């Protein structure tokens, strides 16, 4: 019994650290210095909203891990059983413990490239290429799905950041800036 509790606590350790960090950052986000404008959200609203979600979800995962003994990495329930049944039917070996460190390295390089290139080629183009590249690097090969989901994801993020959150996004340098402005005009963004 004692050993089982220790294993559960070890399984919840990462979520506990994430929970405490989110609580601390939530507290700090309440102290942004800014000029209050009538009818506009302050700069702490979106970070606090997202951190609040992280707090709730990590707390739920911690309680779930301590009560049921499952961790975030385990697959339980209906989908886990269905996936296992499909693998047995197909005769495919389980890839549960297979790791892909090169894909992790490629993902990290792509993220660094995204941060570097966003000011050069603009948010819209860079985000489209990042989403498509990430799916392709993740060994997904349905090209139509990659293009459509990258396009829809990019349009969603552009609309969200410009129309909802009121964030000015990088448009890039010429000739990319012209293409970004064409995309914005097609979306009705001025």
Q: pLDDT (tens digit, 9 = 90+) per residue, 134-164?
A: 999 988 889 999 999 999 999 998 888 888 7
Distance, in Å, from the CA atom of 138 to the CA atom of 62, rounded to the nearest integer, reads 29
Answer with the residue of higher pLDDT: 165 or 16: 16
Distance, in Å, from the CA atom of 132 to the CA atom of 51, rounded to the nearest integer, reads 27
Distance, in Å, from the CA atom of 147 to the CA atom of 133, rounded to the nearest integer, reads 10
> Given this model, what pLDDT does residue 69 score?
66
Distance, in Å, from the CA atom of 134 to the CA atom of 68, rounded to the nearest integer, reads 34
> Given this model, what pLDDT does residue 173 score?
92
Q: What are phi and psi of 81, to 5 degrees?
A: -70, -40
**pTM value > 0.75:** no
Q: pLDDT (tens digit, 9 = 90+) per residue, 109-139?
A: 999 999 999 999 999 999 999 999 999 998 8
Lookup result for tokens 């390295």: 105
């Amino acid at each position: 019994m004692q050993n089982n509790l220790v294993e559960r606590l070890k399984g919840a350790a990462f979520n506990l650290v994430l929970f405490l960090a989110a609580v601390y950052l939530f507290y700090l986000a309440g102290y942004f210095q800014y000029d209050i404008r009538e009818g506009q959200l302050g700069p702490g609203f979106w970070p606090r909203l997202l951190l609040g979600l992280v707090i709730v979800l990590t707390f739920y995962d911690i309680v779930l891990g301590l009560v049921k003994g499952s961790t975030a990495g385990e697959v339980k329930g209906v989908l886990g059983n269905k996936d296992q049944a499909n693998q047995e039917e197909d005769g495919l070996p389980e890839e549960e413990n297979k790791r892909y460190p090169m894909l992790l390295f490629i993902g990290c390089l792509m993220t660094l490239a995204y941060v570097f290139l966003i000011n050069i080629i603009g948010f819209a183009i860079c985000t489209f290429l990042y989403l498509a590249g990430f799916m392709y690097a993740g060994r997904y090969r349905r090209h139509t799905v990659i293009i459509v989901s990258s396009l829809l994801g990019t349009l969603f993020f552009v609309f969200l950041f410009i129309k909802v959150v009121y964030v000015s996004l990088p448009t890039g340098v010429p000739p990319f800036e012209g293409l970004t402005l064409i995309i914005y005009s097609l979306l009705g963004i001025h």
